[in-house]
Amino acid sequence: MKLQQLIVNDHNQETILSTSDSFHANNTSFVLAFGERKFLEKAKPYNKLRSLFPNGDIIICSTSGQIANTHLIENNLVATAVALEKTKIKTIQVDIQLQTDIHFLGNKIKTELLDNDLKSILILSEGSLINGTELINELILQTGENIPIFGGLAGDEYNFEKTIVGLNSDASTGKIVAIGFYGQHIHFGFASEGGWTDFGPEREVTKSDKNVLYKIGDRFALDLYKEYLGKYADELPGSSLYFPLSMKENDKPQVVRTILSIDENNKSMTFSGNIPEGSKIRLMKGNFDKLIDASFQAALQIKEANQQLPQLALLVSCVGRKIVLDNRIEEEIEAVKEVFGHDLLVCGFYSYGEISPTLDKVACELHNQTMTITTLYES
């Protein structure tokens, strides 16, 4: 595996940040390009990237901030080119505005990506129209829960207006891109940690519809949530990123859910993933040191489970963590490098949802407010 990482500004001028020895642009397998939605719409960087990497698949995804090694990059595109030496890939794209049935994506993955030597799937999905839980459930269904799946939902800074993704074109709304990795030479490590602290009593969801929460116990959801938020209630929905919910459903692992929007008329809240009736929820709050330590612990899990050091790490962290950590945000990226060492190349973005396998579930889970790490190397 050979790697190159560069920055492209809004005038489509590039600056190379890192290059592997003997990296050749013509041998690029794929490029992961991350930038803010408004930047991508203005700069339209696809043609520039295609001129730099004429043969690789180019995936462009909008974000709430880009990660390049140990730094948060804003108002520039971060592109990471990967030249795989012993591994083949396949890419697909679906437009959920044209194909609104999520089963269309599942069937496309099943017919075009599934193969005996499929090792893993990377998903980069638009993040404003999709129900993340339905996306994950479809992926698990079509892969038989046998293929680890990682990636995330695109971001839109703190705007929550629209997100854009593109495969071999400039990014646009409604797109979901999947990359399949094939063969025995590619190896992955996965971990996801939050570091948030529960507070307040555990309560039961008594009325919901998929990802829309109406009632908690005998209270309207929005009323109860505002009561706990106090002075932050006037800043909803943005302030909800400071106070996500933990959710426990039956015997499934606890997950975190972030609020995308609120409805004052129905006193309801819409989340990035489903909140089933009967599930138990609690409010959460962030602590700087615990959030940063969670990134360290996620990296440590991967290092302890793999004997060989990885060559590349994809970090998908939540926009909520970025807001809470503020000017300490780079510390959670530095924590990952501290574990793996400075030879590791890091790329990634701040998202509206993270996708990663869990320790007790092979395929994947939708996470919110986590630092999710995927490492790659070729043997």
Which sequence spans correspond to the domains of the chain? 2-193+290-378, 197-284
In angstroms, rounded to a whole number, what is the distance separating the alpha carbons of residues 41 and 49? 15
Nearest Cα to Cα of residue 1 among 66, 81, 67: 81
In angstroms, rounded to a whole number, what is the distance separating the alpha carbons of residues 321 and 329? 8
- The mean pLDDT value for 140-168 works out to 93
Nearest Cα to Cα of residue 84 among 320, 280, 311: 311
Q: Which pLDDT belongs to residue 349?
A: 97
361 pLDDT higher than 60 = no
Out of 4-13, 26-35, 168-177, 349-358, least confident range:
349-358
In angstroms, rounded to a whole number, what is the distance separating the alpha carbons of residues 165 and 336? 26
38-84 pLDDT, tens digit per residue, is 999 999 999 999 999 999 999 999 999 999 988 999 999 999 999 99
- The mean pLDDT value for 318-324 works out to 89
Q: Which pLDDT belongs to residue 171?
A: 98
The pTM for the full model equals: 0.91
- The mean pLDDT value for 80-92 works out to 98
Higher pLDDT, 31 or 145: 31
322 pLDDT higher than 60 = yes
Average pLDDT over the chain reads 93
Identify which of 19-28, 139-148, 193-202 has the greatest average pLDDT.
19-28
| Cα→Cα distances 361→71, 196, 262, 358, 366, Å | 31, 21, 31, 5, 12
267-298 pLDDT, tens digit per residue, is 999 988 899 999 999 999 888 899 999 999 99
363 pLDDT higher than 80 = no
- The mean pLDDT value for 95-106 works out to 93
Q: Which pLDDT belongs to residue 241?
A: 80
Share of the chain above pLDDT 90, in %: 74
Determine the longest span between alpha carbons in the chain, in angstroms.
64
153 pLDDT higher than 90 = yes
CB atoms within 10 A of CB 367: 29
157 pLDDT higher than 70 = yes
Q: Which pLDDT belongs to residue 323?
A: 87
In angstroms, rounded to a whole number, what is the distance separating the alpha carbons of residues 237 and 271? 11
Q: Which pLDDT belongs to residue 351?
A: 95
Q: Which pLDDT belongs to residue 269?
A: 92
Q: Which pLDDT belongs to residue 67?
A: 97
CB atoms within 10 A of CB 271: 25
Q: Which tokens sit at 342?
A: 């400075």
